[in-house]
Every structure is written in C-alpha cells, then in structure tokens.
Structure 1
Amino acid sequence: MLNVMIVDDEYMLLRGYRKIIDWAALGLEIKITEQNPLTALLQLQETPIDILISDMNMPELDGPSFVAQAKEIQPEMALIVISGYSDFDYVKAGLKQGAVNYLKKPVDTDELVEALQSAIEHIEKQKNYQQMADLAMQAQTRALLQSTDTQNGKNLMQKLQISRDQNIRLIGILNPKPPMELVAYLQMMSTVKGFFLEGQDYIILFQGTDTQLRQFIEQAPSRVSNKHRPMIIGDIGIVDGCLRQAYQQLEAEIARQYFFESPSGLQWLANCKPTEGAVVLPGYSQVKEAIKGFDLPVFKEWFVAQTKWLENASASDILVRQFALVVVLVLNEKLLKSETKTKAIAAINKATVVSEIERAIIKVFQETNTVEQRHLTANVAAMCQIVEKRYAEPLSLGSVAQELHLNAVYLGQLFKQDMGRSFSQYLNDYRINIALDMLHNAKYYDVNYIASFVGYQNHGYFYRLFKQQTGMTPSEYREGTGVTDTVGQR
C-alpha cells in the first residue's frame, strides 16, 4: 500500500476525501489528513509519504511555500495540487515542484481517481528508474574493485564520482537486517560512493574524513553490537592502485569470520591483519608428541584450544584445515579402517565453519579409542620396522616377504589383520608423514627432492598420492607453515 497525506484547511473536505473513492482498491491508504500546513511539515519529518495532495490556498502558510518545503523533506513523493483559483498562478507554482496533476475545487471524483492513477504510475516509473540506476551503480562498484585495467578503473571512478585527492575505505556489513533499511541509508549518504551485495553481505565504498566515518558508523540503521549486525572497517586504501587488494582482504576477513562463527560488533580490519610469520603450524611429529596419552575429554579440550588460538591469531580457514589434516594423519596410525581417514579429510575440506571440523576430528579420535590395544605378531612387527628404517628404498610386499622367507599372500593377509590396512597403504602413509615433516621443517628442500628422499622416484606419482592423502598439493601444504611460532601445545 502507498501512503497518502491530504492537507486542506477545510475540515469537512478532509472528512469527505476518505469517503468519495475506494482508496484501498487503488492500493492506497490515507495515512494523514491535516488542516494546518505547518503541522503537516512536522509530520512529514516522521512519516514516509508516497503521495501528497495539497490545497494551494491555506491561511497558515501559502500553498507554494508549503509544497516547496514539503518536497525538501521528502523529495521523492508524488504531488497533486488543488486550487479554486482560475488564474493558475498557484497551479504554476505547484508544477514547478513537480506536481503530477492539478485539480480544481470542488474536486470531481473521476478526476481525482485519474490523478491518483497518474501519481501511482509516476511512482512506479521512478522506482524502476531508481532500481536501474542502483543496479548500474552496484555493477560499476563491483567492476572497480575487481578491475586490473588502470584506464578502466579511472573511468569507473569518474562515473562513481570518486575524488582522486582523497583515500578511500572499504566497509563490509554482514547480513544486515532488514537489508532495505540499510540500502536506503547508503543511498542518502554522500560519503558512500558505491555499494553492492556480495552473497548476504554489503560491500561499501566510503570516501570521507574520520569524523564523517564515525558519523556513518553511529547513524547506521543496523546498530553495531554483538547482538546486531557486525561491521568491518577496512584499512585506508589508495585510490590509484590498492582497491582490488583491499577488496580481496575484506572478502578474506568476512569469510574468516563466518568460518570461525564469530562475526559480531565493530571491527577495524587493520587490527585484524595477522602479523607476518606469526602463525606457524606444527609438523606431524610435533602433533604426535603433543597428543600422546590423551583421553577423549583432554584431546577435545586441546584441539578446541588450538582452533581458538588460530582464530585469535587471525589465521585463515586454510591454516585450520591444514592443522586438522595433520591431526588426522597422526590419528590414522591407530585406525583399523582406512576409509575413516578419507571421510575425515573430505569433511575437513568441505567444512564451512570451524565447528564442523572440530566434530570431524573428535569423531576420528573416538574411533581410535574403540580400537583395542593391538598385539602385533612378530612378523608384522618386523615388517613395520623394515618400513621405519628403509622407507626410502623401493619396498614392496613381495620383497619384504622374500626377506622374511614367508609367503607374500599369507604375509599380506596377516599384516592387514593386525594393522587394518594393506602393506602398500601403510608404506604410503608412512612416507607421506615423513614428507609432511620435511615440508614443515626443511623449508629450502625442493619438493622433488623430498619425493625422492621418501622413496618416490616418480615425482608425478608422489604429487598425486600426496593430494589424495591430504586433499592438497605439497606446495599448498608448505604455504601454511611459518617460521617464528608454533600452535600452543598442552
């Protein structure tokens, strides 16, 4: 329904307007009727109005002055003027304010309906035009932040009226409720040069002083607090060159906050950036040593503490996944079902929030607790020792069986019965675990060298196996390691 205000100093006419036509049938509601134009101006400051019907001859304030002031308060509303004068001076004054129609007193019912229909059509056209303009602005803003073409960027900045003499900030408002209230606020702010919707979040180009930024934050309709919509204020960006990087940084921080399930309140992105080299993941051996002897409650407490540490260190979701992966590979030593590791890695890579990873890891640990203490037969223990000492050699079930003077088929069945996986699976797991430690600790070793060192002369096979085992390439895993600190150990 569209809201209508009728202003006329004649009380009986105001009463009559409600009855002479079916307003609801036209999709209209008479929100306010007012005799005094001065009072009407005050009401316009509080109540949104779509159509204003105003007499042009009122004692408290002349019609031309009233409609001029009314349009200053709500410039988008449609205006219909009414006058009993035949010289049309008042009509001309109304037309200057963008009146969509003029009615003579006494008002004819059919003419009133036609005037209202014209006003409704005018409003719809204005809405469509505004929607098209908004869509164009949003597309231009997105294109500017993604552009790698300098000249194209300059053209877009000109269209968005971005000054080249003042730096700009990107602001992210996460999942605002209700979104249209925020959009209306952004549209009226001269310091907002553009914005667009990214999923459920709004990305905003802001150019203004620190004082204007504080005003923008304080006056935003979606109040910033832990119980309302979070707002991330990006670092100051230079117009000529850093907008794309600033956009990528803001996107990464928004994704990080959703992943850690912690988006809340007002945050300054400059304070969220991790210190270079501050986050270092532990290697396979470090994790193995850290969780030795843990029962389920202690392990759960330890793992949650590590993910919390990573969150506080502004680590990315990739680092959390890599850390969880190492934990799974350590736990895999105790598993009797090889598919448990595969399912856990898939769950880690698909997780959208950190709690899903925590649940997947706890599930794997619970399964290790259900496995009874294994008593390896002498032959299987000997096979494990051969792998531990000579994993870099071209080992196979056949060569090991020959060395132990046993039948290969029998030995393979015995090994799987004791270890829960085939000999080749065990050998590959062991080699990949050694590779993980080398990628973590031996920063300057070439990946191909590491592949050869752990027993894979076919480097392509090593890459495929590493990806299959861990869900990432060796280079991707190495990117998640650092040099100055480690995840806290219990």
Structure 2
Amino acid sequence: MKVLIVDDGYYIVEYLKHLLDWKEFGVNQVETTTNSIEAKRMLKESSADILITDIRMPEVSGIDLLEYVGELKLKTKVIFLSGYSEFEYAQKAIRLGAFDYLLKPVDKDDMEKVIRDVTKVIEESQPEGDTAWEPYDSLGYLLAALSENESLIQEFKPIYNGFEQNPMCFFRLSPADRIEEGKLRETLEGFNAYIWAAPPSLAGIVPESETQKLKAVIPSITLSEAFQFNLKDSVRYSFYQFFYQEEVGPNDFSLLRNKEEFSKLESRKWECSGQRIQKEFPKLMNRKQRVIYLLEVIHYLYLTNDNLRAEEVLEWIIHRLEDPCEAYEYVILTISRLGKEADLSNEDIIDNVRKYIVSHIDEALSLEDLGRIVHLHPVYLSKFYKQETGENLSSYILFKRLERASKLLIESNLHVVDISHMVGYKKSQYFIKLFKERYGVTPQQYRKQQIKLK
C-alpha cells in the first residue's frame, strides 16, 4: 500500500512520516509533499491508497484534494488533519466522503487506530485473487505502440477509457526550469497527459485540445502533429518527425522484421544479441534506419530488465538518439553490462518466481513484486512466463493456493475461514467458490471425503 502525506508545514510531514512503523500496517511506500498543487500531480500520476492531508492549505485545500480524488475516480481513502478551531469543518468533510480526521497535534495512538481501520477497509475492499496484473506504464505503452512487435501493445492497457481514440500531440520543453514545469502541470491539470523528465528537457504527450492554451502559457513549448494511439502509422509518423526530424512510412519498418537479435534480446541472451547488433548496425544505410533500429533494441532492453530505469531510457530517446552512433555505443555497453550481471537462465527465472509464490502464498502477490525478484518489467514477466510454461502466471498462483488449502483441510482442524486467509483470500466465500470450481465440492465436503478415505 502507498500513503501520501500533504501539509504545508515541513516539520509536520516529517513527523508524520516517521511516527509509525508503516510496514506493520502493510504500507510499503510513504511519500510526502508540502506543496498541495504538487500533491494533485502526484495523485494523478501514481494514485495513493491513503491520503493524509491538512484540511486548510494555501492554493489547494484538503477539501479540494478530496474533490480531486473524486474527479479522478480514485479509490484513495482521505484522512484529514485539523485543528480544534476547524472541528466542524472536519466533520463536514466526513460527510463529503473523507474516511476520518485527526486533530493536531497528532497523537501516535490516534494515528495507529485510524491507519489500522483504514488499511482494514482497503484490504477488505480489494478484489480477491491476484492483484495488479495490468500495471500501467506510459513509457512502456509508447514504446509498444512504436514497436514492430504487435503483441506487445496488447500487454499495456491505458488507464483512461477512450485514451487511444483521442487526438494527442507530443511536446518538448527545453530547457525547462521549475517555473515552466509548474505552469505546464497546472495547465494540464485534470487532463490525460504524460510528462517525462529528461534533463534539461521535459517531454511527453498532451491532448491536442489543450495545445493552444499551452502555447499561450508557455511560448517556448514545441508540439508535434496530432495523432491517435490506435493508429500505429500515425503515432510513428508524428514521433519520428517531431523528435528526430525524420519522415517515416510503413515500409521503413520492414528492416525490423524477422531479426534474430530481437528474439535473443527477448530471451535475455545478452552476448548473442550484442554480437548480432554489432554485426547488423553498420549495415544500416542512413540515420533514419539507425534510429528506427536502435529504438526497437531499446524497447526490448527496457522490457527485459528492470535494472534499466525509465529515466535512463528517456535520456537515450530524447537526447542520445539524435546521434544514432553515440546511442549505439551506449546500447552496446548496456548489453555488455547486462551480460556480465546476468546469472539467471530462463529456467532459473521460472523457478525463482515459483519459489517466491509458494513461500508468500498468503500474500496479495502482484506482478510488480514478482518482476522485482527476477529483474523483469512486470508486464513482460507475464508474457515471458506464458511463453516458457504454456500457462498463465495467475493460473499457477491459483493452483498453488488451492493445493495448499487442500492439504490444510486434510492435515489440520483449522476452520475454513482461517485456511482461506492462510492461502491469500480475505473473503472466505470467494475462496469456497474457487475451491468448488476446482475440486467439485466445498472445502467442508472435501475434508469429510478425505477423512472417510483414510
């Protein structure tokens, strides 16, 4: 779970951040900000499970943040911080949908009680089974849209309905200082847009409908022609023309088809793929071909190893690829580094994932958790597992949960509710439903049958 703490007092947010042992409550990430405008951006780019916010702040109040959570249709639970003079105001906020409020100065026991209550509600409201099987990654989505590999785009799903059909534009702002960045984020507030930092530049994707407003507020911003993500040729044409001043057409991407190095990258065969790239790159006739080729390589590198950070990839795309020969050197060095670091075969990866699942069968296993163990992008891990084993990762987790449950039913006198919790299901009725679908009988009936067979 993730917590965001917002207060215009620096010492208050630091006090609250270190007040509790957050891991005890299932919280693995605590972010803070003293800027309530920044808080809106943080909520939009990566929503929090719990928002703890001062009820009165300059520019954007806690009530404003509560309303913003509602506008974005987030499941974030909001807890207000208020003084005694704001007591009635806080009670009103509860009626508007806040989860609870805490009076300043915040007492540790009061904070523990509220956090225990809110985390319990969040856990009970989460869907059963395995969570976060479709993590959203805007950079990964862009790379998949540009890639020749058609199957990859299906792995990434935009979080906004209708996003793919909306006319969008690429933008670039260079150099970008904090004032211009603030204007950019404020102008785009409430819109489906992506902003990526590639110092000294900002780049990203904005709705075409907002481009005139952006130009008026930030005259130095540059914008591409409009495109739609559901039209691959449209995305590619705008992207390559805008960032690299290269006009591309469908035939330009034929050079990416049936290339052995891409399959080797996908299989994490670093040495072989590096050798192939060093052989193929010098054959490319012009700058356009080299940029197209290297961008495909970068996409596979980004997917197949999470040690390659998004910031590093953005720096390559926005800056290095303007000179393909320079970018090529960075790519080869990275592949060489990955080859030296790699100590896991495909079989090892599958084995490590399965061992982790078995030892954490009582937890809400996510693709992010599993991907982190084997250094794979979470979206790619799902695809990789299916390729290597022929089954979905979620199916394997379900199998191991129910297998463990069947053994506990036979070997112990534990209640079905307790067994349900021990294999990762908080709602026993859902567990019983899944168990019956697999074994044809309820857990209680299964236990009775097995006792008779002994």
TM-score (norm 2): 0.30
Q: How high is the TM-score relative to the length of structure 1? A: 0.28
